[in-house]
Amino acid sequence: MAVVLFFAAAVAPLNAEDRPATWPQWRGPTRDGQVAGAAWPTTLQGEALKQLWRVELDPGYSGPVVAADRVFVTETKDKTVEVVRALDRSTGKEVWQAQWKAGYTPPAYARAHGEWIRSTPALDGDSLYVAGMRDVLICLDTQTGKERWRVDFAEHFKTTRAVFGLVCSPLVDAEAVYVQAAGAAIKLDKKTGKVLWHSFPDEGGPNGSAVSSPVLATLAGKPQLLVQNRRKLAGLDPASGEVLWSEDVPAFNSINILTPFVYKDSVFTSAYGGRSHLFSLAQKDSKLKVTTAWTHNAQAYLSTPVAVDGHLYLHLRNQRLTCLDLEKGEERWTSSQSFGQYWSMVARGDSILALDQRGTLYLVKANPKKFELLDSRKVSDEDTWAHLAVCGDQLFVREMHAIAAYRWQPPAPSKPK
């Protein structure tokens, strides 16, 4: 059974029972798009979803991370400076700001996807880990914004800057921070930034840094760091960086985008211009054996899926939503309705909340029998490429030039008959 690490996300000491729900990293507390808490309403209209505050920002694709009392957001100013802001969670008022020179301009063919910071930071107690576009990882003090350390991976490893910039969102565990940069997977001491190992170099060439993000899990009884680069999916030993297994994942232009998705002792991925795969792991003669449980012709693009009760909900290259049975690899349905190019999805119980990059929120029933759209609401007239953050009864939406906080009301309790 997969085990995903949890993260200490509060920046102020609170009793556990008083601590608000948080969103400390890419795809949430358990890095799989799942949240706990009270049931969601079945409507997004009116007072059911009320805007609390909105703060204007410079452009950015990074998702917000949320602590007990603060929200951390990134932006790129004038294409030359990367900025991190800490905002008061209740009011949106700025607490501190940190910045550094960026000055990175992607090649023309990559520029259509933006010239601004993209990686979602990782929050771990009193430290915030922020990946800048120029293959740089910076550790900031969450209370003050003071820089604790930084590592310039291109300079350290003498590699060229990645074409799309450092897109991978860092991952933190008890002792270390992991990132895919400089064309490889890297582990660093989270207190000092010292490089502990450098492994799984990408065969895609000098500009081959991953556009996926790593995940920690235990598969077939073996702790692993799951990483996907432009050509392959692999499991690495978190202690040493040793490659435990790897599988080819063919994709158009060798760009695999999805974050590996863990299901029991298996890993799912889906490639743009390729196929969907579920790889299963088992122990044999004290070694890991990998088999392909199934493949399917469903093609994802940018959006990592969520799973509910053994069924995967996957946004496709053709901009529709599909439901796949994870055990059998069979398609249950594909929506006739198409959406935008990107859906950031969060699941709670049998409900899925999805933010379309066109600024629309969708509330979908996780129903393996049919596509069931419960409601939708336009929340921004701008692009919303950043991942949605959901913390209890609060939602945080990063628009292209702003961040907005919302609170929704839980459904009223049914009256006894």
Residue boundaries of the structural domains of the chain? 16-408
Distances (CA, A) of 95 to 13, 86, 88, 90, 397: 17, 5, 6, 12, 19
Give residue 7's pLDDT.
40
State how far the alpha carbon of 146 is from the alpha carbons of 49, 84, 96, 348, 349, in Å.
35, 11, 9, 36, 39
The CB density around residue 386, as the number of other CB atoms within 10 Å, is 25
Burial of 112 (0-12, 13-18, 19+ CB in 10 A): exposed
What is the model's pLDDT at position 67? 98
Rounded distance between C-alpha atoms, residue 167 and residue 213, angstroms: 8
What does the pLDDT read at residue 415? Answer: 66
**In b/e form, how buried is each residue of 67-85, taking b as 16+ CB within 10 angstroms?**
bbbbbbbbbbeeeeebbbb
Indicate the SS3 state at residue 341: coil
Contact status, residue 42 vs residue 396, Cβ threshold 8 Å: no
Q: What is the pLDDT of residue 53?
A: 98
The CATH architecture that domain 16-408 belongs to is: 7 Propeller (2.130)
The answer to whether the beta carbons of residues 313 and 373 sit under 8 Å apart is no
Tens digit of pLDDT per residue, the chain (417 long)?
Answer: 444 443 444 444 445 556 799 999 999 999 999 999 889 999 999 989 999 999 999 999 999 999 999 999 999 999 899 999 999 999 999 999 999 998 777 777 667 677 899 999 999 999 999 999 999 999 999 999 999 999 999 999 999 888 888 999 999 999 999 999 999 999 999 999 999 999 999 865 545 667 899 999 999 999 999 999 988 999 999 999 999 999 999 988 878 899 999 999 999 999 988 999 999 999 988 889 999 999 999 999 899 999 999 999 999 999 999 999 999 999 999 999 999 999 999 999 999 999 999 999 999 999 999 999 999 999 999 999 999 999 999 999 999 999 999 998 866 666 666
The pLDDT, as a whole number, for residue 110 is 67
* Cα–Cα distance, 77 to 325 (Å, whole number): 44
Residue 216, CA distances (Å) to 10, 204, 388 in order: 21, 24, 21
